[in-house]
Structure 1
Amino acid sequence: MNAVETDGLTKKYGELTALDGLSLEVEEGELFGLLGPNGAGKSSTIEILTGQTKPTSGGARVMGVDPVENPVEARRRMGVLPEREDPPSFLTPREYFDFVADVRGVELDGSIDEWAERLGFSDKLDSISMDLSRGQKQKVMFAQAFVHEPELVFIDEPLTNLDPVVQERVKGFIVDYNEKGNTVFLSTHDITVAEEICTRVGIIQDGRLVAERDVDEVKSDGSSLIDEFLDEVEA
């Protein structure tokens, strides 16, 4: 079964077309990267797939569920790391994780403390989120996407505001999570990140999927994703 499917997905904001008939498939167990420049339609794609907004036309399914018609059920099966979102300022990270668990209808057991230790914010678990640094907030948001161990995780620009050491740790977490059989849908404009950790990428330009590439095949051909990307977006 495909973990993610879109069929002719179109999203318009007034006169602006963010997505223009986007059709793609991501198989279960893939670490798929949606690669494109800023404004290409990556975030709009994730917002529709995670039930945050409705498409103008076309359809989508996530783990066999329509995220527009049944967003609650879809969200129970996924984790989401938005590009620009902080934990609620009036909650502690621990309280925020409890809220996320209630919304998703899951039990977290001891995983909150485990993820806080992995990412290095154990000492901030019971601090008000408004007092956290930008990087600490990003760590909290990263953890909330994985803490309930979903089958599928959507990640929009995962390395924003993280220092180089934590960036490497986060990339390792993503790869390890995928190697356990889970599906990861990663949106990024960072070609080097996509080339380093993804198994397959789709290149999006002006709301359209213009190419799909198996990362290992690209490397075995002696090429790079940078070359492939430039060829497509400059065509």
Structure 2
Amino acid sequence: MPAVETQQLTKEYGAVHALDGLDLTIERGELYGLLGPNGSGKTTTIEILTGQRVPTSGEVSVLDIDPVENPLDVRRAVGILPEREDPPSFLTPREYLQFVGDVRDIADVDARIEEWSTKLEFRGILDTLSTDLSEGERQRVMLAQVFIHEPELVFIDEPLVNLDPLMQAEVRDILTAYCEAGNTLFLSTHFMEVAEDLCSRVGIIADGKLVTERDPQSLDEDGLLETFATELGGESAVEAGRP
């Protein structure tokens, strides 16, 4: 069974169709990227898939769980990092990750905190209040909480935001290794280079509809930029930007 599957997924806000008949199939072990301009439906898709928002209509399955009927089961099973999410300002990274460990019943949470703070290079700030951390440091802490319970499926909205170039390269390696180990990653971004460099398959979304899907490795030298411009028009392609 696929890790993620939707059929005619729709979300309406009055006359606005945030999602309009979205059909997605993401196989286990894929590093799938959903690429689109701001307001295209990327965040709404992740919120429905992770049980945070109820669709207007359509069917959805995540790890063989219906997130509409069993939202807590889905949230327990997956890792989630929304865009612009920070650790609580009144906790240190260590305290926050210990809290995550308590919520997720992680027996060896201290060892995993050491592991992920080393991988993401924030051991030196584990006991610093989060309010005193830089944006990039907070992003690294939030990436750690995604993986600390070793989920088989992770949803990340803009994984490289606020990271310096060296840490971006490190995170790219971590995400790639995660999928090579047989896990699945659903990545949402409006940066073409992120989707092109990281993903095994990319879906382009606009106005709540899946416009096309592409294997970045099979594209010509103009890559996703030309595909995006062809499918959505030049102005939308420019909006997508680069990191």
TM-score band by shorter chain is: over 0.9
Residue 98 of structure 2 contacts residue 110 of structure 2 at CA under 8 Å; is this kept in 1?
A: no
Name the CA distance, whole Å, in 1 between partners of 2:103 and 2:72: 8
Aligned to 1:79: 79
Aligned to 1:100: 100
Label 1:104 to 1:60 Cα distance change in 2 as closer, same or farther (>3 A). Answer: farther
Aligned to 2:237: none
- Residue aligned with 1:110, SS: helix
Name the CA distance, whole Å, in 2 between partners of 1:146 and 1:121: 15
Q: CA deviation at 1:91?
A: 1.7
Aligned to 1:209: 210
Name the CA distance, whole Å, in 1 between partners of 2:52 and 2:100: 15
Residue 72 of structure 1 contacts residue 104 of structure 1 at CA under 8 Å; is this kept in 2?
A: no
Aligned to 1:166: 167
User: 1:127-206 counterparts in 2 under 5 A?
Assistant: 127-206=128-207
Q: CA deviation at 1:218?
A: 2.2
Q: Which runs of 5+ in 2 are unaligned?
A: 235-243
Which residue identity does 1:22 align to in structure 2?
A: L
Q: TM-score, normalised by structure 1?
A: 0.94
Name the CA distance, whole Å, in 2 between partners of 1:75 and 1:102: 15
Q: CA deviation at 1:101?
A: 2.5
Q: How many residues align?
A: 233
Residue 81 of structure 1 contacts residue 142 of structure 1 at CA under 8 Å; is this kept in 2?
A: yes
**CA-based RMSD:** 1.5
Aligned to 1:225: 224
| Counterpart check, 1:12 vs 2:3 | no
Q: TM-score, normalised by structure 2?
A: 0.91
Q: Which runs of 5+ in 1 are unaligned?
A: none
- Residue aligned with 1:97, SS: helix
Greater shift, 223-232 or 41-50, is seen at: 223-232
Residue 93 of structure 1 contacts residue 128 of structure 1 at CA under 8 Å; is this kept in 2?
A: yes
- Residue aligned with 2:156, SS: strand
Deviation sequence 1:71-94 (CA, Å, 0-9, x none): 221122211111121111122212
Q: CA deviation at 1:223?
A: 5.2
Q: CA deviation at 1:14?
A: 3.2
Name the CA distance, whole Å, in 2 between partners of 1:79 and 1:131: 25
Aligned to 1:234: 233
Q: CA deviation at 1:226?
A: 1.4
Which residue identity does 2:102 align to in structure 1?
A: D
Q: CA deviation at 1:16?
A: 2.3
- Residue aligned with 2:219, SS: helix
Residue 78 of structure 1 contacts residue 154 of structure 1 at CA under 8 Å; is this kept in 2?
A: yes
Deviation sequence 1:122-162 (CA, Å, 0-9, x none): 12112221121111111111111111111001110011111
Deviation sequence 1:170-210 (CA, Å, 0-9, x none): 11111111111110101011111111111011110100001
